[in-house]
Every structure is written in structure tokens, then in C-alpha cells.
Structure 1
Amino acid sequence: MAEAVVGVLIGKLGAALAKEAATYGASLLCKEASALKGLFGEIRKAEKEFESMKTYLRQAEKFKDTDETTGIFTKNISQDEEEDQASQAAWVTVSKSYQFEDMLKRIAREFSIVTDATNMEIRGLVEIIRKHLEGKSRFVLTSRKFEVASLATSNCRIELEPLGDKHSWELFCKAAFRNSDDERCPSELQDLAVKFLQKCEGLPIAIACIGRLLSVKQPTYSEWDSVYMELELQSNNNVIQGVDSILKVSLEDLPHELKNCFLHCAIFPEDYKLGRRRLIRHWITSGFIKEKENNTLEQVAEGYLNDLVNRSLLQVVMKNEFGRLRCCRMHDIIRHFALDKAAKECFCTVYEGHGTFSVHETRRLSINSTNIVPLNQSGVMQLRAIYVFTSFVDIDLLRPILASSTLLSTLDLQGTKIKMLPNEVFSLFNLRFLGLRYTGIETLPEAVGRLQNLERQLEKKRMPELLSSWLHLNYLTCLSLAFSKLDENSFPNLMVLRNLCSLNLNKAYEGKTLCFSVQSFPRLRELYIWDAPQLSQVEIEEDALGCLVKLWFAGCPELKRLPRGIEYLTTLDELYLEDAADELIKIIRQEGEANECKEELMKISHIRMVDFKSTEKNFWQRIVNREGNAFAG
């Protein structure tokens, strides 16, 4: 029993470390976690206490049958052990500009206390969480600020030391020589490597950044020496020792277009999860991405995103089942540096509701506070983009800025609870990006047709019944709709948008048949159909969807056959089927009647890649057409 009890305690400690390591495990910065071996020295300080506990519990166990008090004690300990083994653990990040309600909802989700906390009031959330945690919880706080750590009693504080020479060297080699098999530093570079590590002063993030920067250089003395000389020039009295100068060198090494993408990531709040698709939309609309060779803008942008991750300037948070980046985050130290750089270059300014504030000549404004009264209108004529990252904002207080920002090309209101768009928005004739995803707006007004330069409009619940004004949206290339109640009669209204390149229907289609007529959507490259429970038949006429590259069906349980006419889509490269009818899955897997399977598969033999997945049956399979006329698994 003694070993079990102490084992539970040590197991919890290990689980906590493993959880943190797993959270950041996909990026190189998470290799800081492998360097947490330095923390084990602190843990070993508790070894004597654990041994004393073991000795005491062993002695108590010997007398449990002869001493009633001891027997009750050991029984309670055993019960506690069983309860502890089934306990929960959660990790919640609290940023500097956090919102209390959002934090409570995250805690509720982490502990699975409630299934949906979206519409719960704060008082109710507090009460539920209190009852769940009261009397049986322990809190671990981590911070780089001494003031936060000092809130704990002195015997409960652990101050982490910088990495020692051994662990610093291991982390550096993993970063700098990640492309080599043995991850070893050549002898001719070891002296320079030691100099780099001296600059890092044992800080894992600094080691990771400089290591990743060197990993994209040729492993020669001259290449490394030029980086070190640049580091020497950039060295100064840093607020965060050893990091700023390294980040300056890393930033200077970025190509111009990649530098803009990096600085743009700083507009998001601290610890914000940056979705891949949202980032890519922002970058394209901002003009940071140019087409290269045969790659689309989206492909180029995704390459830039992966490059920033490979340089440890962004951390991977989540990947999808195909290993593709789903979301990432910017380390708060890196974000601090990026914001400082962005402010100096008038690239962007973040408003967090503290003190006086002026837009000045910045080109992008990020609003991270509900208190927008102090926003100064000076310089708003220079604004190119406004991003709002707070759920509750009085849109009326933004009216003066919107009215004066005649050059505004991006307005992202995603996640805000606004009920309607102010009229000032429809006078922003340069607007190219209008982000309305997850807002409280129920109906998209006809006046949106006045925004003739609009390229991307994201997720609106209902469209206007009359779409005559939409004929003027000649530049609209990306449209995402949710809960729009489209059917066989209303869907053809979308076909006036002939320049659409991407169409995303999320719980937006309620019809049984979806028909694409001749010459409909001539430039559409990506089509996503999500959660269409009634959809049972898709018809594609010849000369429709002439440029389609990606076709995606997810959550269409009545779809029992491949789209009729899919063989006409000669440009189609990817077909994705998730949670379709069993009949369709059996056809794809060639488990049905032989002739029927062969006939259906011939229709998609020209498609390079077909993915199909079943959430209920927990399987995913990819079929790749390698030859151009036959499938190979």
C-alpha cells in the first residue's frame, strides 16, 4: 500500500509534466519539454519526504489487523488512493488580458462539468465549478513573474533554474541538426555552438529559436560565423535576457513576405489559438501572398505557415488526422517582441483597454478589450484593417472609426455578439474581407451588395431572399454560410457569384437534392458541404464546376451514391467523404456487389486522392490513384 500511495503522488506529478509536454509536443519549442530534466533536481528534493511516508505507511499496515484506529486509517488511505487514481487533471492558460467568463467556460470544458456552457450565466458557472472542485482539488500556478509566484507560501514555491550545460547542448543539437540522422554537432562547429549557447543563458526558448535558425543554414563555419556576428551586433541590454537579440536575428533572416506574416500573428491575443484557415485568409486578403509557379495562394500561404513553425516562431497546438497543421500559437515572449517590432514599423497596434490610446499611423488595429471608449480617432484614415477579439463589444462605439476609415480593407468581427452591422460598414468601398463567423447577426442585409470589392465573406446564418444586389460582388471569391436554410429552390441564387473560388456550407443546406447546372461556379476550386442530414443526391451537369479541385462531404448520412456526373470534374484532385451512408462507404471499399463497385469506382478513377472516414466506426482510409486510371491503396 505504501508504494501504491506514494506511486500515485509521483504518478500525478509525472502526468502533469507529460500533459504540459504533450500540449506543446508537435513543435520544436515543445522540445523544451525534453529539457525539463533540469526540473528533476527540484523533484528529487522531495525524495526524502516520500521515503518517510513509505516507512510510516508500511509500519501502519503491519498493525491494521490488531489496532482499530490504525485499521480505519489504512482503510481510508486505500479509499483515497482509489479515488485519486480516478481523479481529473486540467490545464488552463490565463493570459494577461483574459476574460473571466471565457476562463470559467474553459475550466468547465476541461473538467467535462457541463456539456454546453455557451449560454450559461457567470454565477451559475461559478457555483457548478465550486461544487466540483471544493475540498478535493489542488492548484498549480506557473508564471515567469515573481509577483505571481509570491502569492504562494514559501515552502510551496519552486523556482526553475536555467538549463545546465548538458541539457542546453542536447536541446541545441536537436534544433540545429534536426535534418541530420544523428543530431550531432560537427567538431569544426562546436566552438561556435558553445558561443551561441552562452548567448542563450540556459533559456530553452532562446536555444530553440537560434537552433532552428541555424538549421536552415549550411552547416559551415562561415555561415554560422556570419549569424554569430549579426547576433553580436544586435546584442543590447535586453528586458528578457538573451532572447531579444536572438529574435532580432531570426526576424532579420526572414524574407520580406514571411516577415509580414510573422508580424501579423501578433495581432491575436496572448495564448490565442491561431486556426490555419483563418490565418491564411488574413494573409491573402492583406496582400502578403503571391502565387508561385503552379501553387495556389492557399498553398503558398500554408508553406509560409509551416516555415514559421519550423523556425520555432510559432508552436503547433493541433494537427488533423492527416498530420496537417490545424492550429498553432505564438509564444508570449515571441509575441512581446513581435508587437514591439510591429509598433515601431506602424504595422499594427493592439488595444487592451489600458490608459490613453491613439491609433496614430498604424495600419492595423487589434481590439482586445470591451472598453473601447478611450479609442482615439487620430490617424484612423491610415487604417487598413480592424480585428475585434472580444465577445462583447458595443459596435456603436466603433461607428466613428468605421466612418473615417475610408481605406479599410479588412473588418474581422468573428466571435462578437453583435446583432447587426452598422450602416457605416456598407460605405467601406475598399473592403475586401468581412469576417462574420460566430456572430449574433441573423440576416445578411441587401446592402452588402454595395461592397463591390469584397473578396471574402465568412459565415452568415441567413442570406437575403432577394440577391439582385449580389450581382455587383464581382470580386467575392470566398463565401462561408451556416444555418442558412438553403434548399433546391434557394441554392441557385448563389450561382450569380461567378467568381467564387471557395464555398463552404456548414449546416446550411436542408434539401434532399443538390444540383449544379451547366456553367455554374466556373471558377470554384473548393466546395465544402458540412452537416446536410437530408442530402441524398448530388447532380453535376457537364460543364459545371469546371475548375473544382477539392470536394468535401462531411455529415451527410443519407448520401448513398457518389455525385452523379462526378466523372465530368476532370480537374478534381481530392475527394473527402466523412460519415456518409454505409452503402457509399462499401462501394468505395469495394465491399458491395462487384459490378456496381467497379462501375462507381470508374467514375472517380481520375481523382488523385480519395479519403473516407467514419467517426462512429472509428476508421479512416485513404486511396491514392497513382496511375491515372486505377486505384491503389
Structure 2
Amino acid sequence: MAEAVVGQLVVTLGGALAKEAAIFGGALLGKEAAALRGLFGKICDSKVELESMQAYLQEAERFKDTDKTTAIFVGQVRGLAFQIEDVVDEFTYKLEDCRHGGFAGKMKKRLKHIKTWRRLAAKLQEIKAQLQDANRRKKDYAVTGRFASSARSTNQGQALHFTRDEDLVGIEENRDRLIRWLTVSGGSGHGLEQSSSKVTSVWGMPGVGKTTLVAHVYNTVKVNFDAAAWVTVSESYRIEDLLKKIAAQFGITVDVADIEMRDIAESIHNYLQGKKFIMVLDDVWAARVWSEIRNVFPTSNCTGRYVIISRKHEVSLLATRESAIHLEPLHAHHSWELFCKGAFWNDDGKECPLELQELTWKFIAKCQGLPIAIACIGRLLSCKPPTSAEWENVYRGLDSQLTKDAIPDAHMILKVSLEDLPYDLKNCFLHCALFQQDYVLKRRRITRQWIAAGFIREKENKTLEEMAEGYLAELVNRSLLQVVKRNHAGRLKHCQMHDVIGLLALNKAKEECFGKFYDGYGSGAFSVEGARRISVQGENLEQLSRSGAKQLRALHVFGRYINIDLPKPILRFSNFLSMLDLQGSCIKMLPNEVFSLFSLRYLGLRDTNLESLPEAVGKLWKEVLDAVHSKLTCLPNSVVKLKKLRCLRAFTTSRSKIGRIRGVKVPSGIHHLAGLRALQSIEASPEFLREVGALTELRTFGVCNVRSEHSSYLGNAITRMSHLIHLDVGAATEDEVLRLEGLYLPSTLSLLGLTGQLNKTSTPQHFSSWSLLNSVTRLYLAFSNIDEGTFSCLCVLRALSTLELVQAFEGKRLDFYAASFPKLRFLHIWGAAQLNQVGIEEGAMQNLVELWFTECPELKFLPDGIQHLAALEKLLLKDTSEELVEKLRQKRDSDECNEDVMKISRIRNVTVELSQKGLWKRIRWSSLFTRSWAVACQAHADHLDHNLNENLGYSLD
């Protein structure tokens, strides 16, 4: 993707030219000024040349795989663009170096760099000559009219989520078979049988929909099990890591840093004893995986269901007799249906116009029934005018990508979608390929890395962060990334790359010299040469050669137990490194070589054992310093020199009862970091709170250890943060009162967390003043001591989608009046010791999806009016009164219709848990009733419209 390289470089050159005014505005030596003017002139020439080249490359990119002349030229342009980038980065690096040291040292460097500026200008002149020479040869040997029959695809809305029920096509028979195998024991036909195990397998070619089928079934049946786990294995698995993932998925708490593999296995075995459980092993490449872990799982006094997903037939043979599904490509009519759902998603009937039917069949023939290919092409066409001419252009574009009419796999068809991306999105997408195959990409982390890498530009009055989130949403929309999790407001939180797409992207990243990965398992030295970015996905760095390190721009290390000395040779020669991500590693200190990386923009230290940062950190040119869940307690004085910092996050989860996080101490002078957008989470002090008000660009702000005497300082500071979106305030102790009298929240606020007691006298008035906060979607209150009257004042937050009260409500009755909280989707009441009644009027919380009551021991009745919550899908009652638990469990032994059960009969997922002296009792069921029990309920309440077509599953243990 030379076009992406060139596009990014044009932006970089623009940034270099922007320095011109600042440099010549100061006092320069005569020779220094002349040398710099010559360099800037060459940079300007290069920018003009590359801007002219970019449009051509957009077309040439599509033909380089089938035309050697074009491929050679594109490769030359890419290589020359990298050389220009090296020149610009060296210029920036040397310029930054001049700013460090005393007066005499700075003058010496400036005199020394005069030769450097001349050398770099000469290098750009040489590169320009090579570029023109390559362009001449391309014109001499080009075939005219090469691009005449092709139109550039500029798809803006390709999207198909395979996990959506409405888009599942052609899986009905296999779905029913799989559900039957997982829920019915051999021969009984009456549900799961105790002390039985069964292995099923689903296998087939990449992109055929294996994971889609199993995920749909898994989400359908897992409510019938006590424990469920979905684990991606991948080709280069390690048994120890695999067991850790299995334990984590089952919710088994282990110290993953120190525990031995035998102990993990024993923990899993003991946890699953006496339970009904299901486990999916996705992307299994070798049959030995099962033989290496099967003894971990109990075989007596339990019911185990295992589903193995693989591309290989030999792996499918692990299944219990006649319990394997060979998933084959879709039949023609199913392919037609899936294609039309993608291509005509915006049409009510999703029907293909008569004039496009012949072309549709041609596209379907190209895809050969492969769902992932059909989805990509369908969504690509959905963004085109539905005319024969437009579709014919796209079809010819497919022909230019393929050497055969038949498609051997999905890779070539997916390349069309990949190359349809704008250059900035291409860079963002290839960046995602550098993560591990089954890695869950978190929104904040990935977008901040894109910004630090320079992939994001501000435009349309949007911030870099807003643009980056838009790019992420677009990649999801185009099915190049899949949604793993959204928050309760529907905002994308976690996503993942499909394995087939990931393989294509990784190969593309290597081919384009964007980046490659090193797993530590190969033989011989691994050179970073030929790649701008390296992803180290192993702990053995000894074979990682420093050759080519000078051109390295990013280093991602995923190994947890790496030797801190091993990366030093790479860091020593990577002068232009802009991104260093060590998240998850066990390092306690940073190598000294890090503090010579003047170009560093992103330093990732999350989840490390880092205990301190030296003063040398002030030398770095960072935009992001992420040390969340490290062991840092304070930041060095020099951190206030990092004036380009946009994000500073350094806190960890607190084990104390008060508050959720433990913050860090910052030195005086924090007001110098005027460009900060995120600051979390800082221990409060009068000096800090007086300074932080100067950070008016903050979007995210977290402060802890707040005392009553800090109130005026805190209020004054937050009042000045006119762009604030996320605010967290935590008191120093449980007895500390957070005084809100002077706290005026900005209208931009969306997420608000308050941890600490509130003043009972002034709180109702203050809550009422929040009526102007039309953007607040999430509210977290802890230890607030609010009562019935105070709670009713929160109804002014009509945009609220998530409300969490953690040991915050001290009243006996909680009422939700008609029309209150119209957009609320998630409500969690935790630790309400006196709460014994909940009333819900008809019309209240009409969009509520999840309702949780935790540690409410006096709650003896279901909420009065819970049947009015038509949208409610999940109800959790954990450690409420024993009376309520007993009422709900009685239905197990009687066909008589229980009134309380009737109230919640529509809810898909109901879980009741009670812990007594370490003993857990649980009742879990879905809202799908047996016919015999349903008849009694229908006779008792004819007005209820039950869905009575499936079986009721529940368990009590």
C-alpha cells in the first residue's frame, strides 16, 4: 500500500514545513539559516512531488499484483518514501536534540548540525532524482489505457455482523443438530444428564462460518449451564497460557503471575466438579491440544460439553462418534439470500432489482459460497449506486485482482475491501494486524496508538480522539473488525479481527514493509530490516537482530516475562522510535536506552510492575504515557516538561473499601501540560487542584483522595474544564464528605463518578441542578448515603443509560415513577442494607435491559411493577433475602403458577444467587417454559402472552 505510505508522509512533510516559521523566528547563525532554508526547500519540493504521485498510486495499487511494471514502480515509490521519512525524522530528531543541555552545549550542537542540514538536503535532492528516474521508466514501459476499464471503489459503509440473528443464513440444520448434541444426552431425550461428557467438532475452510455457527449456538445454550467458557487456541499456543485463558473464561481467580501450571489445572478441575459446563475451543490447529488438556477436566459427578472449531479434518476426528459437523460453503439460494441482505440492506424487501440479477449471480459465482467473501462484496456494493455500469466496474475490479475465475479462498476477495480503504484507514487497519491473533482490541488503547503514530488528522472541527473513534467505527462497519463488547450506552468498547482477515492483514503488513511479527520460535537471527514496526509475540528476544533497527518506528512487546536487557540493542539503534508498548510485561524498571528516544510519542506501561520513573523521562517527546495498573505511586518532577503530552494515565485498582482506584502524586507545575486531554487519576492536594484548572482542554479527569477542605479548589478547577466528558471524583475516606456546593458541571459531561458521602442538606438541590446536563449517560455513586427523596431528584438526568449505586442508597423504599429514566438500559443497586421495597410504575424505565440487585438482604419481594419493564432481558438477584430466593425456587417442585415467577416470565435471563457461609445457591432460568407448566400459567393469567415453544432450563446447586 504505497499510497498509504505516501499519504502519511505528505502529512509528515507538512508538519516539518510548519516548523519553518518557528525556527526562522529565532536568532540563527548565517550559515545555519542558509543550510536550513536549503533543507526546507527540498522538503517542500518533495511534498509537491508526492502529492502529485498519491492520486496515481490509488489506481496503481489495484494492478500491481497482475502487472510487473506497475508493481516495480510502486515498490520503488514506497522505498523512496521511506527514505524521505527517514530524512524528515532525522531532521526532527536533531532539532529536538538541540533543545537539551546548557547554552554552550546547545551552540555546539547547532554548529555541528549545519553539516547535517546540508547532508539531508542533498539526500532529498538525490531521492527526488531517483523518483523522477523511476517515473520516467514507468512511462516508457507502461501500457496505455491500463486503467481505463476500472473505477476506484470508495466504499464508505461495508458492514455485516455475522453474530446478528437476522443475518444468519443457511445454518438452520447445523444449528439444530449442534443444539441437540449439546443439550440432550445420548438416549434420554430429557435434557442434560449428570456425569456425562461429549465432544463435538465443527470444521471447514477459513471463512466458511464455523465460528459464526458455534457462537450463535453457544449464546443460545450457555444459560442452561453452570459455567461456560470460550477460548481461542491459535496455532502457536502454549499449554500454560491456554490453561490461564481457560481459568479466566470460567471466572476462576488465580494469580497468573506466580501460580504453577499444575496449580492452575487443579483449580480448573476442582471448580468444575459437580457442575454442568460448556467449553468452546476455537481455532484449534493440532489434535494434540485436546490430549494435552483433557485430563484437566473432571469426568465424574459433572456434565461437560466441549466444542472444538478447526480448519483441519484430523482435528474434527476428536469428536464423540457422529458428533462432527463439516461446514461447507453455502448453497446457491442461501448465497443469494446472504448477498442480498448485504447489498440491499437499506431496502425494506432486500430484493435484487431485475436489471442487476445477472451481475449478482456473477458475483456469487466468484465467492463460491464463502460467507465472509459474500458479506464483503455485498457490503462493498451496498455503497454503490444500484446501476449496471457501477456494478460492472466493481466486477472488473475483482477480475483485475484474480488470476483465475475460481476463488481458492477468501484472501483475494478480501483484498478488494482492504484496498478500497482510504490511506489513513489502511494504516490504522494494518496497525491492528500487529496484535496477537486472538487479541481483544480496546477502543482507548488502539485509538491513542493511532494518534501517536500520526495516522489521525484533525478535520471537520473534530478532535484527534473523535476522528480516531470514527475510524475504528468505520473498520467495524466494513467488517474488517468485529465487535466483542459494547458498553451499556451502545458505544464500542472492545473489538477483534477475524482470523482470516487477520492473516490477510498480517501478510499485507509484511509485504508493504509496514510491520511484521517475531514469535521467538524460529531458527536463526530475526532481522527487523524491511519493517517499520515490529510486534514481539514471545519472550525469547535473543534472536532478534538489531540489523535495520534504525528505521524502526514502533516496538510492541507482548511477552510477559521478558528479560529487560534483551530489548536494549534494538532500542540503542532505534533513534526514530515513536511508539514503545510494553503492556503486560513484568518489568520493574525501564532500560536507560528508552530515555534517548527523543521521537517517542507513546510509552505503554500498563499492567507492568514498574515502581518508579526517573527524572530522565522529561527528555522524551511523549503524547501518551499509560501506566494504568502499574506500581507507580508518584511521578518525577520532570514530567511537567512533557508539554506535548495528551494523555497521562497512572492509577491502579484499590483494595480498600472506599473508592475504586488508587491514584498517583504529581509534582507542582502540572499546569504547564496545557495540551492534556486525559488525566487519571491524581491524588488531590490544594496545590494540584489550583493548577489543574489551567488544563482547559481536558476531556477525561480523575481525582482521588479528596477531602472536604478541597471542595472550593476542585469546584473552581472543574468549572474551567468546558470540554470535560468523563469525571471521576473519589473521597479520601468513607467518612469524608464530598461537598458539591461549588461544583458546576460542564454541559459536555457524559460520564460522572462520585465516590464518597454527600451532604444530605444540599444534595437534593444540587441533583436538581443537573437538569441541564443533557449529555450525561452514565452515573456512578458510591457511599453517597442518599435517601428516597434525594434519589427522586436524579430523575432529571433523562439521558441516563447506566446508573450504578454502590453502598449509596440508605432508604427503605425505592420508587421509579412513570416516565422516569426514559433511556436507562442498565441499573445496579449494590449494598442497600435497608432496602425492602421497590416500586416501578407503568411507563418508567421503558428501555431497561439489565436490572441487578446485589447485597440487599432486606429485599423480600420482587420489585412491584417489574412486569411493566417490557425491554428487560436480564435480572440478577444476588444476596437478597432468603425468603425471595425460596419463593423463586419453589416453582421447581410444583406445577402451580407462582405469582412472583409470573412477573418475570418474559425475562430471558434470570439469575438468583445466595451465599451463606461459603455455600452458593443459584437458580437460573430463561423465560422459555415447558408446555405443561405454561398451560397452568396461561390459565391463571390469560392476559400474558408467553413464548412457550422451548424448554425451561434451570439449575439449583
Sort the TM-score into its range (normalised by shorter chain).
Answer: 0.7 to 0.9
* Correspondence for 1:106: 245
Measured after TM superposition, the shift of residue 313 of structure 1 is: 0.6
- Find the aligned partners of 1:489 and 1:263 in 2 and give their Cα distance: 35
Measured after TM superposition, the shift of residue 168 of structure 1 is: 1.9
Measured after TM superposition, the shift of residue 456 of structure 1 is: 0.9
Measured after TM superposition, the shift of residue 479 of structure 1 is: 0.4
- Kindly provide the amino acid, as one letter, of the partner of residue 470 in structure 1: V
* Correspondence for 2:298: 134
Please say which of residues 408-417 and 209-218 is displaced more in the overlay: 209-218
SS of aligned partner of 2:336: helix
- Kindly provide the amino acid, as one letter, of the partner of residue 548 in structure 1: H
Q: How does 1:441-520 map to 2 (within 5 A)?
A: 441-451=610-620, 453-459=621-627, 461=630, 467-483=636-652, 490-491=665-666, 493=668, 495-506=670-681, 509=683, 516-517=689-690, 520=693
- Find the aligned partners of 2:263 and 2:608 in 1 and give their Cα distance: 23
* Correspondence for 1:251: 418
Q: Using a 3 Å threshold, how does the CA distance of structure 1 residues 157 and 483 change in structure 2: closer, same or farther?
A: closer
Q: Can you list the C-alpha shifts for 1:397-450, whole angstroms capped at 9, x where unaligned?
A: 110000010110100001111111000101111111100011111112211112
Measured after TM superposition, the shift of residue 525 of structure 1 is: 2.0
Q: Using a 3 Å threshold, how does the CA distance of structure 1 residues 46 and 444 change in structure 2: closer, same or farther?
A: closer
The answer to whether the Cα contact below 8 Å between 1:427 and 1:450 also exists between their aligned partners in 2 is: yes
* Correspondence for 2:804: none
- Find the aligned partners of 1:51 and 1:601 in 2 and give their Cα distance: 55
* Correspondence for 2:827: none
Query: TM-score normalized by structure 1?
Result: 0.79
* Correspondence for 1:295: 462
Q: Using a 3 Å threshold, how does the CA distance of structure 1 residues 208 and 243 change in structure 2: closer, same or farther?
A: same
- Find the aligned partners of 2:464 and 2:439 in 1 and give their Cα distance: 24
Measured after TM superposition, the shift of residue 562 of structure 1 is: 6.7
Measured after TM superposition, the shift of residue 34 of structure 1 is: 5.0
Q: Can you list the C-alpha shifts for 1:48-90, whole angstroms capped at 9, x where unaligned?
A: 9x99976x889xxxxxxxxxxxxxxx9x968989xx9654332
Does 1:146 pair with 2:313? yes
Measured after TM superposition, the shift of residue 29 of structure 1 is: 3.1
- Find the aligned partners of 1:79 and 1:468 in 2 and give their Cα distance: 62
Q: Using a 3 Å threshold, how does the CA distance of structure 1 residues 32 and 597 change in structure 2: closer, same or farther?
A: closer
* Correspondence for 1:172: 339
The answer to whether the Cα contact below 8 Å between 1:499 and 1:523 also exists between their aligned partners in 2 is: yes
- Kindly provide the amino acid, as one letter, of the partner of residue 366 in structure 2: K
- Matching residue within 698, 718, 729 for 1:525: 698
- Find the aligned partners of 2:432 and 2:406 in 1 and give their Cα distance: 22
The answer to whether the Cα contact below 8 Å between 1:238 and 1:244 also exists between their aligned partners in 2 is: no
SS of aligned partner of 1:540: helix
Please say which of residues 402-411 and 244-253 is displaced more in the overlay: 244-253
The answer to whether the Cα contact below 8 Å between 1:488 and 1:514 also exists between their aligned partners in 2 is: no
* Correspondence for 2:566: 397
SS of aligned partner of 2:307: coil
SS of aligned partner of 1:552: strand
- Matching residue within 488, 506, 524 for 1:321: 488
SS of aligned partner of 1:360: coil
Measured after TM superposition, the shift of residue 534 of structure 1 is: 6.1
Q: How does 1:49-448 map to 2 (within 5 A)?
A: 87-114=226-253, 117=256, 119-131=258-270, 132=272, 133-135=297-299, 136=302, 137-152=304-319, 155-236=322-403, 241-353=408-520, 354-356=522-524, 357-448=526-617
Please say which of residues 352-361 and 201-210 is displaced more in the overlay: 352-361
- Kindly provide the amino acid, as one letter, of the partner of residue 515 in structure 2: C
- Find the aligned partners of 1:363 and 1:53 in 2 and give their Cα distance: 56
Q: Using a 3 Å threshold, how does the CA distance of structure 1 residues 41 and 264 change in structure 2: closer, same or farther?
A: closer
Measured after TM superposition, the shift of residue 547 of structure 1 is: 4.8
SS of aligned partner of 2:612: coil
- Matching residue within 25, 29, 35 for 2:162: 29
SS of aligned partner of 1:290: coil
- Find the aligned partners of 1:319 and 1:77 in 2 and give their Cα distance: 35
The answer to whether the Cα contact below 8 Å between 1:478 and 1:502 also exists between their aligned partners in 2 is: yes
Please say which of residues 340-349 and 497-506 is displaced more in the overlay: 497-506
Measured after TM superposition, the shift of residue 125 of structure 1 is: 0.4
Q: Using a 3 Å threshold, how does the CA distance of structure 1 residues 612 and 547 change in structure 2: closer, same or farther?
A: closer
CA RMSD across the alignment: 4.1
- Kindly provide the amino acid, as one letter, of the partner of residue 163 in structure 1: L
Query: TM-score normalized by structure 2?
Result: 0.53
Q: Can you list the C-alpha shifts for 1:362-415, whole angstroms capped at 9, x where unaligned?
A: 110001011221112211111000011121212211100000101101000011
Measured after TM superposition, the shift of residue 245 of structure 1 is: 2.0
- Kindly provide the amino acid, as one letter, of the partner of residue 316 in structure 2: A
Q: Using a 3 Å threshold, how does the CA distance of structure 1 residues 242 and 53 change in structure 2: closer, same or farther?
A: closer
Q: Sequence identity, in percent?
A: 40
The answer to whether the Cα contact below 8 Å between 1:534 and 1:558 also exists between their aligned partners in 2 is: no
- Find the aligned partners of 2:634 and 2:651 in 1 and give their Cα distance: 15
Measured after TM superposition, the shift of residue 349 of structure 1 is: 0.7
Measured after TM superposition, the shift of residue 288 of structure 1 is: 0.7
Q: Using a 3 Å threshold, how does the CA distance of structure 1 residues 468 and 192 change in structure 2: closer, same or farther?
A: same
- Kindly provide the amino acid, as one letter, of the partner of residue 529 in structure 1: G
Q: Using a 3 Å threshold, how does the CA distance of structure 1 residues 281 and 414 change in structure 2: closer, same or farther?
A: same
The answer to whether the Cα contact below 8 Å between 1:238 and 1:245 also exists between their aligned partners in 2 is: no
SS of aligned partner of 1:322: coil
Q: Using a 3 Å threshold, how does the CA distance of structure 1 residues 428 and 43 change in structure 2: closer, same or farther?
A: same
The answer to whether the Cα contact below 8 Å between 2:668 and 2:688 also exists between their aligned partners in 1 is: no
Return 5+ residue gaps in structure 1 as ranges: 1-25, 59-73, 585-591, 626-630
